[in-house]
Structure 1
Amino acid sequence: MMLKVAIIGAGAISGAHISAYLAFPERCQIVTVVDIYVEKAQKRINEYGLEGAQAVTDYTELLAQNIDLVSVCTPPYTHAPIVCDFMQAGAHVLVEKPMASSLEEADLMLRAAQASGKLLSVVAQNRFTTPMMKLKGVLDSKRMGPIVHVQVDSFWWRGHNYYDLWWRGTWEKEGGGCTLNHAVHHIDAMLWMMGPPVELQAMMANTAHDNAEVEDISMAMLRFQEGALGMITSSVVHHGEEQQLIFQGKEARVSAPWKVVASTARNNGFPEPNRELEHQIQKLADELPDVTHVGHAGQVENVLNAIETVSPLLVDGQSGRNTLELIVGIYKSASTGEKVVFPIGAEDAFYTREGIMQHAVHFYEKKTTVDNFEDSSITLGMKLDF
């Protein structure tokens, strides 16, 4: 069965979605591209040679058209109404990260998915890479012993003018800064591998972007159920953009970018290399299969498989909500100075977008607004090699 696909939002990230669907021409066809600027939608259709696809300005025109699958590539604050409308109309939905700009909106989306019986997947394209799949496989093997510490460095660099784009740099429209919109991939990967923390303490600042209300750096300390501790640094002020995920087990450590080190104790308790365990872990990693379809294409394949064969989604709506909840926890702790204990419930001041807008620290006022950048080239995802 050929699935009919609609792309909602023709901004920079939409190209990754379109390319992903085009990798499976015998299984799906893009029939519509929607954007409030119709010329942007038409440009995408022309650019990718989407024969027969129509350019539309208002997504509600599609709700009666029996679309099978929708990719939502619009700013975060618009996700909830679009996703809920399409699910109620009977479509499956793949929505870009972050899932929404509040937990209230995420819960509306989850309820819409449950009520419709349709699939809701949240983009986490970096899971669908060989380094991430191998790292997950190694951690699941438990060869490293219990995890005692995890370190997440989500280091990016963005210029001052990055926040001039009309929807960026405000709590209302972007929903947050680098923690929500850049570190989301690393946070998703960490939660996939570790499970959720039980509590955290965080700080954040805006050190280099005085045209944005939101943070450009944050740091969070986490405690997990089994006793492990963790550290997440989210940033758009790090030149060089070095990024890493490090998992310290009782017996060994592994990371992305890939490195394995194992130690045993000498008589005085100081370390010496455990070459045998290092070799075992390396052999396990080498034997795990490479990913066939990488990034967005891998996630699209997973969604198509789930639609066609009722197989499980690797990244479902609940997974997207868990990532958002941890990020909201960082914003709450950094704004109030208090320790945050999970879960964050509907009674919490930070549960709604209005609550976050009211209670989160506003660093600066947004001074400049541009509708579009002439240079629309962007970098996608984490730079983690195996």
Structure 2
Amino acid sequence: MRRPRRTREEKATSPTDHRLRAAIIGTGAVATHHLTAMSEHADVEPVAAVDLAPERLNAFLANHPGPRGYTDIDEMLATEKPDLVSVCTPPASHVDHVTRSLRAGAWVWCEKPPCLSLAGYEEMIAAQGEHGPYVSFVFQQRFGSGARHARELLDAHELGTPLVAHCQTTWYRDSEYFAVPWRGRWETEGGGPTMGHGIHQLDLLLHLLGPWTEVRAMTGRLWHEVATEDVSTALVRFDSGAMATVVNSVLSPDEVSRIRLDCSEATVELTHLYGHSNADWHYTPAPHVTDAARIERWRSPAHDEPSSHGAMLRQLVAAVREGRRPPCGEQDGRGILELVTALYKSAATGRAVRSGEIGPDDPFHAVVHGGAPEKLTGDGEADRS
């Protein structure tokens, strides 16, 4: 017999003493990553999957038996009363699905990008309880031993002062990829490779270097027949004084994801595609650094755990159990969305944009293209005034 379910307030203030009941909203390709991550945790029980398209839902359940299927989100939330909801739907629906789940008392694990605008983001965050439930956004490349080790070395000033950085997401997507109706459109995807692809590397860059202060950018639609940009470039200055170059592209046959940090004592470089392990991180000492033991310490993390949804979920589950704010939550999600929005604003206006300047009265707060998408694709001149 199923035990009585607790109210939102009871969930927020008392420890969870049963396996976390998990549901997935949206059964596209990324949902499989979430279900796989859940299957790696004995503490998580997938109980439900929701999709508005019955044929897609049935195909998902045929390949992944166990969860019960629903085509109505509210029915699922009322019937299953999950502790954790994974939102794996296209970005335009994130605000609705996240807020509904939070108000039903579930913690939420939402795919990137968080949503389409800072205004939408604030609506989601307002739906959190004072002591939970909370929402966490999927930025799995922060997780795993390689990223953790690099962050620890930087925090301990082992690598010296960060000075110059490069952040590269140069991928390739063909016309078939953009044939999916919601892709390549501002109103459904929220942007091109800046929002939908490069956001992972940008988030990892922020995780390693900390807050940014200023961005100058250019965007364009050079090849694909889409509404959004298909390439962007930017210069970013950080609180620390470090400066970074950023490139996001879906025009690049030789695909790579790359972060390089040149510090006063060493260069650390990560080169991979969609995920990384210790072997993808490389440390090059400055000529004056000759301590072999120190260099070996840089190159020898204590563990080897690849970046993955599972590595992130483990920390999210711990936060749920302890009733504390989760990783990649309120501040982290806003930080990366603000940087992406500022990049678009800089490209559209032709001027530098500073952290904190995009407030509720700014047109870029409500929509990332500021109401003039043509200025981000080369169809209109940037306002240089």
Give the TM-score range, shorter chain.
Answer: 0.7 to 0.9
Gapped runs of 5+ residues in structure 1? Answer: 264-272, 366-386
Q: 1:5 to 1:364 in 2, by over 3 A?
A: farther
CA contact (8 A) 1:105 1:352 kept: yes
Rounded to whole Å, the distance in 2 between the matches of 1:260 and 1:294 is 18
Q: If the length of structure 2 is used for normalisation, what is the TM-score?
A: 0.86
1:374 maps to what in 2? none
Q: Which of 255, 259, 269 is the equivalent residue of 2:282?
A: 259
Matched, 1:31 2:47: yes
1:349 maps to what in 2? 363
Q: 1:226 to 1:304 in 2, by over 3 A?
A: closer
1:145 maps to what in 2? 160
Q: CA offset at residue 130 of structure 1?
A: 2.9
2:12 maps to what in 1? none
Rounded to whole Å, the distance in 2 between the matches of 1:216 and 1:207 is 7
Q: CA offset at residue 62 of structure 1?
A: 2.2
Rounded to whole Å, the distance in 2 between the matches of 1:281 and 1:313 is 33
Q: 1:200 to 1:363 in 2, by over 3 A?
A: closer
Q: CA offset at residue 56 of structure 1?
A: 1.3
Alignment deviations for residues 212-256 of structure 1 (CA, whole Å, 9 cap, x no partner): 011111001011223221111111111111221111112221111
Give the secondary structure class of the aligned counterpart of 1:153. Answer: strand
Matched, 1:183 2:198: yes
Q: Which of 95, 118, 143 is the equivalent residue of 1:80?
A: 95
Q: 1:235 to 1:39 in 2, by over 3 A?
A: same
Rounded to whole Å, the distance in 2 between the matches of 1:312 and 1:64 is 25
Question: Structure 2 matches for 1:245-284, cutoff 5 A?
Answer: 245-257=259-271, 258-263=281-286, 273-277=287-291, 280-284=294-298
Alignment deviations for residues 36-58 of structure 1 (CA, whole Å, 9 cap, x no partner): 111211222221222xx222112
* Count of aligned pairs between the two proteins: 350
Give the secondary structure class of the aligned counterpart of 2:240. Answer: coil
Rounded to whole Å, the distance in 2 between the matches of 1:160 and 1:243 is 21
Q: CA offset at residue 23 of structure 1?
A: 1.1
* TM-align CA RMSD: 1.9
Matched, 1:305 2:318: yes
Give the secondary structure class of the aligned counterpart of 1:156. Answer: strand
Rounded to whole Å, the distance in 2 between the matches of 1:31 and 1:45 is 11
CA contact (8 A) 1:138 1:281 kept: no
Quick one: which amino acid aligns to residue 260 of structure 1?
Y
Q: 1:244 to 1:277 in 2, by over 3 A?
A: farther
Matched, 1:222 2:245: no
Q: CA offset at residue 142 of structure 1?
A: 0.9
Question: Structure 2 matches for 1:289-304, cutoff 5 A?
Answer: 289-291=303-305, 294-304=307-317
- Stretch deviating more after TM superposition (303-312 or 32-41): 303-312
Q: 1:364 to 1:226 in 2, by over 3 A?
A: closer
CA contact (8 A) 2:146 2:301 kept: no
2:274 maps to what in 1? none
Q: Which of 299, 312, 316 is the equivalent residue of 2:329?
A: 316
Q: 1:279 to 1:159 in 2, by over 3 A?
A: farther
Give the secondary structure class of the aligned counterpart of 1:290. Answer: coil
Matched, 1:46 2:69: no
Quick one: which amino acid aligns to residue 361 of structure 2?
E
Q: CA offset at residue 70 of structure 1?
A: 0.2
1:333 maps to what in 2? 346
Rounded to whole Å, the distance in 2 between the matches of 1:150 and 1:221 is 10
- Stretch deviating more after TM superposition (9-18 or 56-65): 56-65
Rounded to whole Å, the distance in 2 between the matches of 1:45 and 1:109 is 29
Rounded to whole Å, the distance in 2 between the matches of 1:125 and 1:141 is 23
Give the secondary structure class of the aligned counterpart of 2:78. Answer: coil
Alignment deviations for residues 103-156 of structure 1 (CA, whole Å, 9 cap, x no partner): 111111111114572121100111222322222222222122111111101111
Moved segments of 4+, more than 6 Å: none
Give the secondary structure class of the aligned counterpart of 1:160. Answer: coil
Identity %: 31
Q: If the length of structure 1 is used for normalisation, what is the TM-score?
A: 0.86
Q: Which of 127, 134, 137 is the equivalent residue of 2:142?
A: 127
2:20 maps to what in 1? 3
Rounded to whole Å, the distance in 1 between the matches of 2:65 and 2:190 is 34
Q: CA offset at residue 283 of structure 1?
A: 1.6
Rounded to whole Å, the distance in 2 between the matches of 1:289 and 1:330 is 36
- Stretch deviating more after TM superposition (99-108 or 314-323): 314-323
Q: 1:154 to 1:176 in 2, by over 3 A?
A: same
Gapped runs of 5+ residues in structure 2? Answer: 1-17, 272-280, 380-385
Q: CA offset at residue 2 of structure 1?
A: 1.6
CA contact (8 A) 1:32 1:54 kept: yes
CA contact (8 A) 1:350 1:359 kept: no
CA contact (8 A) 1:33 1:41 kept: yes
